[in-house]
């Protein structure tokens, strides 16, 4: 009685390497330079299969969705043999279904790429020029990166001579504050007259319970009967201004503070 023939890992690898669908045929080749400067091609067996990524959308387009029978749970190699007549496309079934391990191969439905699509991918991979597809694999250290910190340059010191500034004492100015309530006439005329002539840019208009407004944008000082004593919020009279027409309505109380110049004789 003859003993059944047993296949070793070496024999199985040799048999699978003759098939166009062998998993290693879809990996990237690397160029290895030996000490004697002789360059040889090697296969770097890594989890990432470059060809599957390159043709992912093509494989998805040419796949059929099928129910996964319970006897194929956790055995993508069995399903590969059932569909393609070989077990070595189990990694492709995991990849196209976004399944990371065989322990998760228990879905209700799975995508099965067609034989035509797989053979087309295999032909394209086999037709590639290895001299342009190989990646250099060298143990040379990377070139040092530029320093993260540049040398600090010397910055010169400058010393300005101290200048004494005299204390400002407004001997010829008085500060006034006037309160108004917008009535019908004031809302139509869009201005209010002050009791005294004001100093330009010293006018501050505050509306009760509202935000502060800007001189020259929301209001301005224009000439009145006593000189510069009229405060207006009319945008037509304010150069590049927007006025305060919508805020200055009847019943609104506001305050105007300003500096007035004393007329000396």
Domain boundaries defined on the chain: 13-137, 173-261
- Whether the CB-CB separation of 244 and 237 falls below 8 Å is answered with no
Distance CA 24, CA 178 (A): 92
Contacts of 103 (CB under 8 A, 6+ apart): 74
Residue 136 has pLDDT above 50, yes or no: yes
Confidence of residue 42 (pLDDT cuts 50, 70, 90): low
Comparing 211 with 254, which gets the higher pLDDT? 254
Q: Tell me the mean pLDDT in the region 221-240.
A: 85
**SS3 breakdown of the chain: % helix, strand, coil, rounded to 5?**
25, 25, 50
**With pLDDT > 90 as the criterion, what percentage of the chain qualifies?**
20
pLDDT of residue 262: 66
Q: Tell me the mean pLDDT in the region 82-108.
A: 91
pLDDT, mean over the chain: 80
Contacts of 163 (CB under 8 A, 6+ apart): none
Answer yes or no: pTM beyond 0.85: no
pLDDT in tens, 99-118: 989 999 999 999 999 999 99
Beta bridge partners of 137: 32
Torsion angle in degrees (nearest 10) through CA of 10, 14, 19, 22? 40
Residue 2 has pLDDT above 50, yes or no: no
Phi/psi of residue 120, each to 5°? -65, -40
Q: Tell me the mean pLDDT in the region 38-48.
A: 65
pLDDT of residue 28: 72
Comparing 42 with 199, which gets the higher pLDDT? 199
Residue 170 has pLDDT above 60, yes or no: no
28-42, 50-64, 89-103: least confident range:
28-42
């Amino acid at each position: 009685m003859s003993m059944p023939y047993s296949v070793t890992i070496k024999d199985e690898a040799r048999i699978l390497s003759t098939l166009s669908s062998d998993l290693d045929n879809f990996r990237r080749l690397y160029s290895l330079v030996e000490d004697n400067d002789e360059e040889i091609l090697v296969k770097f067996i890594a989890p990432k299969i470059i060809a599957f990524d390159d043709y992912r959308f093509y494989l998805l387009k040419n796949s059929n969705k099928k129910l996964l029978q319970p006897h194929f749970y956790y055995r993508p190699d069995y399903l590969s043999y059932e569909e393609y007549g070989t077990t070595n496309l189990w990694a492709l079934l995991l990849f196209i279904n976004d399944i990371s391990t065989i322990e998760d191969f228990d879905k209700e439905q799975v995508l099965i790429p067609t034989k035509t699509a797989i053979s087309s991918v295999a032909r394209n991979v086999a037709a590639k020029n290895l001299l342009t597809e190989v990646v250099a694999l060298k143990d040379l250290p990377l070139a040092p990166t530029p320093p993260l910190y540049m040398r600090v340059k010397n910055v010169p010191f400058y010393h300005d001579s101290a200048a004494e500034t005299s204390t400002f004492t407004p001997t010829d100015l008085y500060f006034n504050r006037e309160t108004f309530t917008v009535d019908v006439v004031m809302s139509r005329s869009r201005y209010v007259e002050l009791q005294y002539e004001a100093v330009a840019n010293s006018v501050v208009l505050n509306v009760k319970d509202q935000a502060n407004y800007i001189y020259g944008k929301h209001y301005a000082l224009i000439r009145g009967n006593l000189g510069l004593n009229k405060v207006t919020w009319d945008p037509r009279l304010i150069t590049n201004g927007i006025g305060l027409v919508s805020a200055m309505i009847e019943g609104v109380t506001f305050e105007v503070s300003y500096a007035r110049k004393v007329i000396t004789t």
